[in-house]
Amino acid sequence: MQEAAVLIQHKALKEICNSLLQAVSINPKDAETTSDVTVCAELRGISSHGIARLPAYLKRIRTGLINARPEFKYYPKYGSVTVMDADNGLGQVAACKAMEKAIDIAGQTGAGLVGVRNSNHFGVAAYYAMQALPHDMIGIVLTNASPAMAPFGGRKAFLGTNPMAVAIPGQGDDSIVVDMASSITARGKIRLCAAQGVELPAGWALDEEGNPTTDPAKALQGSILPMGGAKGYALAVLIDLMAGMLTGGGYSVAVKQLNDYSGPVNAGHLLMAIKIEAFMEAETFKGSVSDYIARLHEAPRAGAVQKIYAPGEIEQNLTRERLEKGIPLTGEQVDLLEKMAAEYGVAISLDY
Ligand SMILES: NC(=O)c1ccc[n+]([C@@H]2O[C@H](COP(=O)([O-])OP(=O)(O)OC[C@H]3O[C@@H](n4cnc5c(N)ncnc54)[C@H](O)[C@@H]3O)[C@@H](O)[C@H]2O)c1
Q: Which atom of ligand 1 is nearest to the CA of 41?
A: 41
Nearest CA to ligand 1 atom 37: 312
Cβ of 255 less than 6 Å from ligand 1 = no
What are the phi and psi torsion angles at 12 (to 5°)?
Answer: -70, -40
Q: What is the best residue among 37, 44, 53, 179 to mutate for testing ligand 1's pocket, by most ligand atoms within 8 Å of CB?
A: 179
pLDDT of residue 43: 98
- At position 17, the amino acid (one-letter code) is C
Closest-CA residue, ligand 1 atom 17, reads 180
**Model pLDDT for residues 173-191, shown as the tens digit of each residue:** 999 999 999 999 888 889 8
149: Cβ below 6 Å to ligand 1? no
Output the pLDDT for position 349.
Answer: 80
Q: So what's the pLDDT on residue 62?
A: 98
Architecture, CATH, for domain 70-183+226-298: 2-Layer Sandwich (3.30)
Pick out the chain residues at pLDDT < 50: 1-2, 4
Q: Is 123 in the pocket of ligand 1 (CB under 6 A)?
A: yes
Helix and strand numbers, DSSP H then E, in the chain = 11, 12
Mutate to test the pocket of ligand 1, among 39, 40, 49 (most ligand atoms within 8 A of CB): 49
Q: Is 145 in the pocket of ligand 1 (CB under 6 A)?
A: yes
Q: Is 277 helix (H, G, I), strand (E, B) or coil?
A: helix
Contact 115, 268 (CB under 8 A): yes
* Coil, helix or strand at residue 8: strand
pLDDT value, residue 2: 43
Residue of 119, 142, 180, 239 to test ligand 1 pocket, by largest number of atoms within 8 Å of CB: 180
DSSP string, 75-140: EEEETTEEEEE-TT--HHHHHHHHHHHHHHHHHHHSEEEEEEEEE---S-THHHHHTTGGGTEEEE
Residue 352 has a pLDDT of 58
Q: Domain spans of the chain?
A: 1-63+319-352, 70-183+226-298
pTM, two decimals, is: 0.96
Q: What is the pLDDT of residues 190-226, one digit of tens each?
A: 988 998 899 999 999 999 999 999 999 999 999 999 9
**CATH 1.10.1530.10, applies to 1-63+319-352:** yes
Q: Is the CB of 126 under 6 A from ligand 1?
A: yes
What's 253's DSSP letter?
Answer: G
